[in-house]
Structure 1
């Protein structure tokens, strides 16, 4: 027979189901693991159903637990969103969980988040760094930063910026090995290539409005760690093709210089967007929508990391930084 259950037990249940871990769920709610286990045991007793199967390294939902999770997760989200609308009408509050690729987060998202929290101290931030596109609904993520193709039609997306790419190398490399004059010259150079899960990424180029063409680019180093490739390029070991959000600070300092800049370069020509994606049920969330607006304003149009190009050409483009607290 169904008995009364408390809200803390339900929140804990959702977190255990999401993480597959009592200890991680307990830490998020500032509980001891033993206390978390007692809450879940009391919840199972109240429901008359086992919600989890326990293993030495993880816990899994039972069939009954899975059905309960799908209902309870949505109810908890609605309760949290209702709480956001209590108190000051325009001030967001509550926990905001964000997922982002590590390299982008380190360079751009971290200072933006600090500025956002200074403006909105009622928002608590959880930042999860991963290059894996996990299901934000299942993981309880409010906003995911995704770079490249969007494959989940259940999610809403806001375009933050269109990626531009730079083929670049250090001055010392070009002095030692010469500067490519046409894309075909890359076959004679050491090209440092990113190793994607599906294989080495291709470099594509076009001139003017022509179609993209794959360049012949290979070398003695491949890696799935872009920071390593970046350091190799800065150290004079080869040529790289990187998005400007990653390389612009080094281009601006002259540590890297553009190569074949008269061409437009890309890795995936049909997937150039940087998006913030979020579940449809976050549309009414004040903290989510406030963050999306803040993030878009901080990045700017064009994105602030590309504005050095206008300045270098003598343009009057104002410089914007993401840490403005305005």
Structure 2
């Protein structure tokens, strides 16, 4: 079998031949210009013939270089294609790391996990529950569900549903002398706060034009899920995204006593690094999450 030249020398020549420049080849390969020149010279010594004519301010390919360069270019492209196919096949199964807030995890995603497992048994979700924004590289996260205005540098974002907060309470609070009939009736009930979003009641009461109620009074919980559960138990009134309490409403555990038009600035998005758009596992989760949002009428249009 014919002995082959070193791969690094072949790569250095192929890039230099494309650019007709050792300097630009060095930039692409993230090495020094001298390193590229050395690798090309080593290849020429191996082949026993020059591949470049080195002019004062330019490079030109010799006839041997002109015939050799396109063959190498095609070979490296085929290696790249084969590598990509292999990695994509591997990425169709295995572990997918998902960053998600505790409330969305417990109230929205967990009730839907059976559907995910049925439709994607080959992909194992590892759920990272945190109120903080994930660093995709440092935290080893593949995809996340986060709320905001949909603009995060370096990330692709797909809107799932509006991050609209509504007051929720146990149906038992709808009866009696302190029944919840209008926003002003909140003065006779405990406000349940989520420490992850401590200003939620202040924003809601301002939108409702209710000035007589102290937005800071009431009980505080570490997550929205805890505040919602306290509301289910009749401990007071919480603010929650319509998306995460839909089943509680349908099954009669919670009611929305009244609604106030809220700004539509924020929504929930499924996000991932822009370079991960073609990864099969990421694409599968993104498509599934968006389909779930549409199916459950959680988009802005579905909320009315």
TM-score category of the 2 structures, normalised to the smaller one: 0.5 to 0.7
- Alignment match of 1:224 (pick from 222, 235, 238): 222
Aligned to 2:201: 202
Deviations 1:8-34 (A, max 9, x none): xxxxxxxxxxxxxxxxxxxxxxxxxxx
2:196 touches 2:223 (CA, 8 Å); kept in 1?
A: no
Per the alignment, residue 70 of structure 2 pairs with none
Which secondary structure state, in structure 2, belongs to the residue aligned with residue 254 of structure 1?
coil
8 A contact 2:174–2:257 mirrored in 1: no
Matched with 1:190 is 190
Q: Distance in 1 between matches of 2:207 and 2:252?
A: 28
Separation of aligned partners in 1, 2:128 and 2:184 = 41
Classify the secondary structure of the residue corresponding to 1:192.
strand
Corresponding residue of 2:269:
275
Q: What is the rounded CA distance, in whole Å, between the counterparts of 1:300 and 1:257 in structure 2?
A: 22
Aligned residue number for residue 5 of structure 1: none
The runs of 5 or more residues in structure 2 that have no matched partner are: 1-80
Q: How does 1:93-132 map to 2 (within 5 A)?
A: 93-110=93-110, 112-132=112-132
Higher helix share: 2
Q: How does 1:49-64 map to 2 (within 5 A)?
A: none
Q: TM-score, normalised by structure 2?
A: 0.60
Alpha-carbon distance change, 176 to 233 in structure 1, aligned in 2, over 3 angstroms: farther
Q: How many residues align?
A: 221
TM-score when normalising by structure 1? 0.56
Could you tell me how far apart the structure 2 residues matched to 1:255 and 1:282 are? Answer: 40
Q: Quote the Cα distance in structure 2 between the aligned partners of 1:306 and 1:255.
A: 23
SS at match of 1:137: coil
Q: How does 1:45-194 map to 2 (within 5 A)?
A: 82-86=85-89, 92-110=92-110, 112-150=112-150, 152-194=152-194
* RMSD of equivalent CA atoms: 3.6
Quote how far apart the aligned CAs of 1:290 are. 2.2
Q: Is the 8 A contact 2:95 2:125 kept in 1?
A: yes
